[in-house]
Amino acid sequence: MKLPLSTTYVTFMVAMGSSLSDGAWGRDNAVFRVSGVVSVLLGWFLTAFIAFAVSGFFAAVMATGGLTGVFILIGLVVMSFYYTFVIHRKREQKRERLLEATRKSEIIPARQIIHDTAQSIGETMKAVGEAYQISIRGLSKEDRAQLRKAKAAMGKVKTENEEFRYAFYGSMKRVEEELAEGSRTYLLAYDLMQDFIQSASLVADAAREHVEDVLAPLEKEQQERLEHIAVRLNEFLDKCILVLQTKDFGPMKDIKQFKKSLLEEIEQLLALQTKGIKEDQYSPRNCILFFSILLETKDLVAVAARFVKMYYRLEHEHSPEEPWVLVSGK
């Protein structure tokens, strides 16, 4: 609320006390209210200690460094203000986007929300495919910069998915039909997207942790196999994205065949890895990582195919007399 610190404390406690006496505390919000009170109370004490420590540090630097120390401190203050401003602006922009999604009140047709979710899913698939490929490349080359890049990309995907989730409630209220097919589509799309993002995040995290822990790298043939799978996965995702965003389901047969072929390749790699374990070719850590990546890749392929199947049903199995009935395929 842009209030001074002391005023904020007073305002906060008045608001908490008023809400408590009004009976506004419930199981849905009590945990957040309690954590807020604890944060403020800790802030009362921590503010004094932090101010004391920082002022002591500044005084020590100025006393020992003279004018040079003063300029260094000025630089630190400017950098601190800048980064704080940037972080605050990003948080405010994110908060405003989430609020905007819930404020919208215009009625939207079910077809429109179906179209919008298809576009959103396609964009997420593309971002996930790129992050997956970067993760595999970073793992093969033990390149931490690439793995950090993949982590940042997945963080962006998660943020966008969170916005998708916050927009859900508002969208349900705005769909024109009473029992809207668009609402079901939105719900199932979110459900599948959670699985999709989780699998991609597990791949990125597993690769990054393996390299950061300085564990033995994968064997050359394993690296080549994973890089090949990463290329094939991106080709498959590109086909799915094209179908979802253009609504041209002509390539459905090709997608089914591609899915079958890709899953068979993954199964073959799993079989080869199992054979290598029996022949003592690979270390336990190596096996855990390789199996984890391949199993999550299978999930990525399966969920992407489910997205296409879901929208295919919407386009081809809906009749005016009956509502659409969608199944996530789990």
pLDDT digit string, tens, across residues 153-178:
998 888 877 777 666 656 665 555 54
Phi, psi at 108, each rounded to 5°: -125, 140
Q: What's the rounded Cα separation, in Å, for the pair 228 and 222? A: 10
**Nearest to residue 168, comparing CAs of 118, 123, 95, 117?**
117
The burial of 266, by beta-carbon neighbours within 10 Å (0-12 exposed, 13-18 middle, 19 or more buried), is given as buried
The per-residue b/e assignment along 74-101, b for 16 or more CB within 10 angstroms, e otherwise, is: eeeeeeeeeeeeeeeeeeeeeeeebeeb
Question: 330 falls in which pLDDT band (50, 70, 90)?
Answer: very low
Q: Tell me, what's the pLDDT at 184?
A: 72
Q: What's the rounded Cα separation, in Å, for the pair 195 and 124? A: 12
Is the pTM of the predicted complex or chain greater than 0.85?
Answer: no
Question: What is the average per-residue pLDDT within 52-64?
Answer: 91
Q: Tell me, what's the pLDDT at 327?
A: 41
Q: What's the rounded Cα separation, in Å, for the pair 103 and 97? A: 10
Question: 270 falls in which pLDDT band (50, 70, 90)?
Answer: very high
Phi-psi category of 62—alpha, beta or left, where left has phi over 0 and alpha has psi -120 to 50?
Answer: alpha
Q: Is the pLDDT of residue 315 over 50?
A: yes
Q: What's the rounded Cα separation, in Å, for the pair 139 and 133? A: 10
What is the amino acid identity at position 101? A
User: CA–CA distance from 101 to each of 89, 168, 175 (Å)?
Assistant: 18, 8, 14
Phi, psi at 307, each rounded to 5°: -60, -50
Domain(s) labelled CATH 1.20.58.220 in the chain stretch across: 110-316
- Whole-number average pLDDT of the chain: 82
Kindly report, residue by residue over 112-143, the tens digit of the pLDDT.
677 778 888 899 999 999 999 999 999 999 99
User: How many CB atoms sit inside 10 A of residue 285's CB?
Assistant: 12
Task: Average the pLDDT over each of 110-119, 215-224, 290-299 and give the range with the smallest value.
Answer: 110-119
The secondary element (H helix, E strand) that includes residue 191 is helix 181-212
**Nearest to residue 225, comparing CAs of 142, 291, 281?**
291
Q: Tell me, what's the pLDDT at 33?
A: 78
- In the CATH scheme, what is the code of domain 110-316? 1.20.58.220
Contact 311, 170 (CB under 8 A): no
Q: What's the rounded Cα separation, in Å, for the pair 144 and 9? A: 43
